[in-house]
Amino acid sequence: MTTIIGIAGNQIIQSVDVFNGNHVSYTPQGFVTAIQKAGGLPIVLPIGEETFAADYISQIDKLLLAGGQDISPDFFGEEPHPKLEETNRNRDIFELALIQEAIKQNKPIFAVCRGMQLINVALGGTLYQDLSLYPEWKVKHGQQPTQPQFATHDIQIETDSALYHLLGEKYRVNSYHHQAIHKLAPLLKVTARSSDGIAEAIESIDTKQRLLGVQWHPELRFDVDTKEFQLFDYFVNQL
């Protein structure tokens, strides 16, 4: 039976000429293609009322959380910092409900970039609203203008992690974020870090909760690096 992967969707809500002013629900094509290549059936879950979450999660086998906007800081008890960028509160509320329902229904979660940060918030952790607030910041974590197919910085992976068996002890990743995990949620463990100490991957300390989060963007490199594709193959067929 084909594994059904629910991808939490994003929105384009500003008026833009290419869409004739229409709002758009979407997910990056890389997620769709990688999941299909791994043998899964991707379904985009459009942002909606949080009451929809239970029904959505019951219809899928696994949940994928993609990247995107900053997370509204009041969800972790802070006022917005001057360097906070675009947020979408409706998306935050909906995805937080999806996370809680996926945990409740024991459905595996794979989270990328913002998705990893949101899991930490959902489970009681906090974020640096901007990396300038992190005192040990030494690595460029937003690699623009370098193209995403090129990896730009190293991560060190813990040997007692699922990620280690996929990528090894040291790996090089692309990087597109200005926020990061600050206080780690009690139910999570950091399984990879950059050389300046930023959390680059998380897993659950409870082996019964199948959860993997990565800070980089494998959906932008899986077609040029087979190890990146292994993340999707693991998610679809093993996690």
Q: Name the residues annotated as catalytic.
A: 113, 217, 219
Instruction: State the burial class of residue 238 (Cβ atoms within 10 Å of its Cβ: 0-12, 13-18, 19+).
Output: exposed
Question: CA-to-CA distance for 175 and 167, rounded, in angstroms?
Answer: 16
Task: For the chain, give the number of residues.
Answer: 239
Question: CA-to-CA distance for 186 and 3, rounded, in angstroms?
Answer: 30
Which two structure tokens, joined as six digits, stand for 159?
């040997």
Question: With contact defined as beta carbons under 8 Å apart, do 31 and 43 qualify?
Answer: no
Phi-psi label, residue 152: left if phi above 0, alpha if psi -120 to 50, beta otherwise: alpha
Question: CA-to-CA distance for 93 and 223, rounded, in angstroms?
Answer: 32
Which residues neighbour 57 within 8 Å (Cβ) at sequence distance 6 or greater? 6, 63, 98, 101, 102, 104, 105, 107
User: CA 165, 169, 175 angle in degrees (round to 5)?
Assistant: 100
